[in-house]
Amino acid sequence: MKDLQKEMQICSKEFEERWNVFCETHGSSHNKSVAKYFFFSSWQQAKAWVVPEGFVLVPKEPTSEMLYCGYAAPDNLAAKYKAMIEAAQEPAND
């Protein structure tokens, strides 16, 4: 939930920055709410294309859980993989 809120804030900021330029170019008779909906939908679709189905993003730097798993079970690749997936699904603390 936190990730979605953060993403919506970023998207909203990007939209607002581009909305004024759009209105200057194409006029201000367009429905801002509808445009914002399509902007966010396009944002989500572009993100989906970047991360293929079945893939998850993992942090560049290993988390403490990943490092612990590497030391606790050096030969257990399944446990390392599980730790990476779990770390990728946790919300970032920015």
Domain edges within the chain: 1-51, 56-94
9-59, pLDDT tens digit by residue? Answer: 888 888 888 888 888 888 878 888 888 888 888 877 887 777 777 777 777
Output the CA torsion 3→83→54→14 (10° steps).
20
Cβ atoms 65, 83 nearer than 8 A: yes
Cβ atoms 69, 87 nearer than 8 A: no
Predicted confidence at residue 94, as pLDDT, reads: 46
Cβ atoms 3, 92 nearer than 8 A: yes
Please indicate whether residue 35 or residue 89 has the higher confidence score (pLDDT): 35
End-to-end CA distance of the chain: 14
CA–CA dist 93, 25 (Å, integer): 39
Predicted confidence at residue 88, as pLDDT, reads: 67
Cβ atoms 68, 82 nearer than 8 A: no
Confidence of residue 91 (pLDDT cuts 50, 70, 90): low
* Residue 92 in this model has a pLDDT that exceeds 70: no
78-88, pLDDT tens digit by residue? Answer: 777 777 777 66
